[in-house]
Structures are given as structure tokens and as C-alpha cells.
Amino acid sequence: MRWVGCQVCDGVVEEPEVPDGGSAVCGRCGALLFRRRRRTVEITFALMVAAAILFAVANAYPFLAFEMQGQVTHTTLGSGVQALWEQGSRAVAGLVLFTTILSPASEILLLLYVLAPLHFGAPAPGAVVAMRWVSRLKPWSMMEVFLIGILVAVVKLADMAEIVPGVALWAFAVLIPILAGAAAFLDTELVWRRLGEPA
């Protein structure tokens, strides 16, 4: 038996069974207790598959190309981290590597590991630990901040060189709203329940 508290009147009631897309209201004051998102596991799993493909493209292809005086320089996410390291900014290089590559990649892979077996019927071994790591890594995934920084740099360098957006930049730009959509659709409480753990 599980109990939920109303945030409006502080009443505590036994948690009702709520179908996909339904909601529960407080019997005392009528306030919304919680809402179940429709097909949360299936939609989030599909979005994470798309995110994994886009993330692979964003790391495999050039991000930007700079053409200055006949010389063309291609940059990737990895080459940016390497350049920072070689310039002696090792702490910044490590932070960029962690927040734009390692943390998002880990979050995507862990969510796929948790959601794929749930989508097909049964939780994977170690899924509880994986889900806990997802919540720990989420605050460190800062790809949108990195993208804003890139766009600011592009605007400032536009007068000095011809800048050609690469495939990775477009993949990165599409990846960010897909990850935001996955976060919005994911009902973590329902996932924890299917894993057999309290939220």
C-alpha cells in the first residue's frame, strides 16, 4: 500500500490506480495529486534512440569549418577539448569533456539500458543503479550552454573568417530539444514502480 500527500491541504490518501494519461485528485480539496503521462516508457525510449544516433553524428562529423586566407580548419567536439588541453587549460578541457561528451553520453546510454527492457517487458539487471546514475548525471549535461557559447563565438568570428556550419552542429541543434522532450515525457515515478523501487 502506498500513500500520497496533497500539496494543497496536506491530506494523506491511499494512492489510487491511475491509467496512462489519467490523473488523481485529492478527495478532500479536489487539487491535482499527480498525472500519468501517456505511454511514457515507449515515447521516451523512441526519443532516446533518436538522441543516441544524433549524439553519435555530433561527435563523428565536423562541427564547424573556418576558412581564412585559403586555409580551411575543421573542428569537432573532441578537437575543441584537445585544443584547450594543449593550451594549458586542462581544468577547462576536463570540464568541457565531462559536460558536453561524457555526461550526456552516459545519460543517453543509461536511459536506453533502463527503458529498452521495460519497453519489451522486464527490467534489466542493475537497472535501479543505472536509474540512480541518470538522476546524478542530469545536472552535469550542459550541451545547450555549449551550443550557446559556440553561437556567440560564431557571431564574433564572422567578420574575420568564413564560417561553414558542419553536420555535427545541426545534429547538436536537433539533439537538444529531443533530450528536453525526453525529460518532459519521462514519468520517473512510473519507471521506478516498474523497477520495483519507491520513487
- In this structure, of 57-61, 101-105, 163-167, 182-186, the range with the lowest mean pLDDT score is 163-167
Average the pLDDT over 3-30 and give the result. Answer: 73
- For domain 39-194, is the CATH number 1.20.140? yes
What pLDDT was estimated at residue 114?
92
pLDDT in tens, 44-64: 999 999 999 999 998 888 877
Which of 65-74, 117-126, 153-162, 186-195 reaches the highest mean pLDDT? 117-126
* CA nearest neighbour of 10 among 31, 38, 40: 31
- H helices of the chain, where? 40-60, 77-86, 90-97, 103-120, 127-137, 143-157, 167-185, 188-194
Give φ, ψ of 186 to 5 degrees: -75, 120
pLDDT in tens, 62-75: 877 777 666 667 77
Average the pLDDT over 169-175 and give the result. Answer: 88
What is the residue extent of each domain of the chain?
A: 1-36, 39-194
What pLDDT was estimated at residue 64?
76
* CA nearest neighbour of 55 among 108, 99, 97: 108
Average the pLDDT over 102-119 and give the result. Answer: 91
More confidently predicted of 172 and 26: 172
| Alpha carbon distance, N-terminus to C-terminus of the chain | 14
pLDDT confidence band for 108 (50 / 70 / 90): very high
